[in-house]
A and B are shown apart, each in its own frame.
Chain A
Amino acid sequence: MKERTVRADTGFLEEVTDFINAELEGAGCPMKTLMQIDLALEELFVNIASYAYRDKPEGGDALIRIDVTDGIASITLEDGGIPFDPTAKVDPDPTAPLEEREIGGLGIFLTKKIMDEVRYEYRGGRNILTVTKKI
């Protein structure tokens, strides 16, 4: 298990992605799965960077943890910001006509579709979101 703490800012997305990719590549993760995990990671990290600390002008940190056991990659993102359960969000309608398509809400929907499991808990004043996928 490895973890890294960065500032919750989209400027750190590349660092976070590189960190997770290095672990996944080391575990022999296929390219397609790697990109799907990157996608979920981007959506979740950008979510934290955009919303978690919007009530704090000084911002805050995000912790990213990865564990690969028995061919299952488990990635956890933690922040100490505003309690927010992205799994509780209503999914956008993927059959809606173009004019009714909303710009938002696609990210978490994609994450839920692409990952095997998305789990949220709020514990000790922290948002803890874990996504898992077989690699």
Chain B
Amino acid sequence: MTINKQQNGTALTLAVEGRLDTITSPELEAALKESLEGIDALTFDFSALDYISSAGLRVLLSAQKQMNKQGSMKVTGVSEIIMEIFEVTGFTDILTIE
């Protein structure tokens, strides 16, 4: 997994590539922890994300909870396979997917 960060003022985009699984999710969690201060618009770009497991979903859930307190969050570039995981788990109702 690689994470590309792009910050524009108080807007932050994290482009996540590869696999967001048990092994790699802590890296994303750490990246969020160090970058979210003062951010009011968070975007996850998943165009190059191949795989997400419940470990990755947990990170998204806590990011959404955090952003509800300080701004907004959206997820873009979701593939069909990952969308199906979001649908099955009801994440389509709690995330803003564009």
Q: Which residues of A contact B (CB under 8 A)?
A: 10, 13-14, 32, 35-36, 38-39, 42-43, 46, 93-99, 101, 103, 106-107, 109-110, 113-114
On chain B, the number of residues with a Cβ less than 8 Å from chain A's Cβ atoms is: 23
Task: Decide: B21 and A13 in contact? CB cutoff 8 A.
Answer: yes
* Alpha-carbon distance between A10 and B26 when the two chains are bound, in angstroms: 13
Chain A residues within an 8 Å CB radius of B53: 39, 42-43, 107, 110
* Alpha-carbon distance between A94 and B80 when the two chains are bound, in angstroms: 19
Chain B residues within an 8 Å CB radius of A14: 23
Total inter-chain residue pairs, C-beta < 8 Å? 58
Q: Which residues of B contact A (CB under 8 A)?
A: 21-23, 50-51, 53-55, 57-58, 61-62, 64-65, 68, 80-81, 85, 88-90, 93-94
Task: Decide: A96 and B64 in contact? CB cutoff 8 A.
Answer: no
Known A38-B51, A107-B54; judge A10-B85 contact (CB<8 A): no
Task: Decide: A32 and B64 in contact? CB cutoff 8 A.
Answer: no
Task: Decide: B89 and A109 in contact? CB cutoff 8 A.
Answer: yes
